[in-house]
Amino acid sequence: MAGSAFGIMAFSLSAFVSLALLGLVSSAKFDELFQPTWAFDHFTYEGEQIHMKLDNFSGAGFQSKNKYLFGKVSLQIKLIEGDSAGTVTAFYMSSDGPQHNEFDFEFLGNTTGEPYSVQTNLYVNGVGNREQRLNLWFDPTTEFHTYSIFWNQRQVVFLVDETPIRVHTNMENKGVPFPKDQAMGVYSSIWNADDWATQGGRVKTDWSHAPFIATYKGFEINACEYPVSIAAADKAKKCISNGDQKYWWDEPTLSELSVHQNHQLVWVKAHHMVYDYCTDSARFPVTPLECVHHRH
């Protein structure tokens, strides 16, 4: 299994990146796509890399300059080295307002020698509580790895080095709301969450190891930039393929995972998932509707 699993991880999901159809293609320096939003003095710039730190005074965060509706967003991140217990490094997309949509990667710090965990979550119309957690199959602190969110009208896919670790499909026909009509910004932050992040809050942040530093590079957005200057009724149409325009994320091959991608997802869940809200009967005595209709 190990050999085949390694082959799965090494496979490049070129379908996500090779289609030469319409879309906003951006692979740029940090300040062309993003801007710091708080604790400006907790950023360090080193060539193409950005270092963002957490200390006992503050965390830090940045966000995209624009909002997007459908496409793919990727960041390369090297997570906090050593004892990172109590810390969270987050990469997520979110719309605005109380009925917001949101797609979350949250990297949960640990004590030295333990596997690094990533928690994903998804909010639709302001409702979250869809946590899944898995242990990464590599040490994310020694080198950069690529974390991506792919989104179209049919599915939301979370990817690690192009391996899908979670998919949320459109099941509106089953009465399950799907996030398809709110533009989303792209965000990242580093902050202290020692009330819950490591072993349920039992292990606290050791500030003698501060500053805790996450490093970023490879800022890529291949998505539909959501216009602010046109009527609301016309905005969604701009990011959907029609007779005059074809967007790569609307290609039929991207309406669901391929057979190979499904095999990858099964492997991740079987060997690395440690929590799935769908099976948490203590929190959800009635199985959430989306969990009834598909595995995700």
Residues assigned a catalytic role: 102, 106
Question: Measuring CA to CA, which residue among 142, 104, 140 is closest to residue 124?
Answer: 104
User: Which amino acid is present at 200?
Assistant: G
CA separation for the pair 45, 52 (Å, rounded): 9
CA separation for the pair 133, 118 (Å, rounded): 6
Contact in structure between 83 and 209 (CB atoms under 8 Å): yes
CA separation for the pair 177, 171 (Å, rounded): 7
CA separation for the pair 277, 291 (Å, rounded): 9
- Sign, CA dihedral 184-185-190-195, equals negative
How many other CB atoms are there within 10 angstroms of residue 295's CB atom?
A: 12
- End-to-end Cα spacing for the chain: 22
Cross-strand partners of 24: 223
CA separation for the pair 270, 245 (Å, rounded): 40
Cis peptide before 252 (omega within 30 of 0): no
Contact in structure between 59 and 205 (CB atoms under 8 Å): no
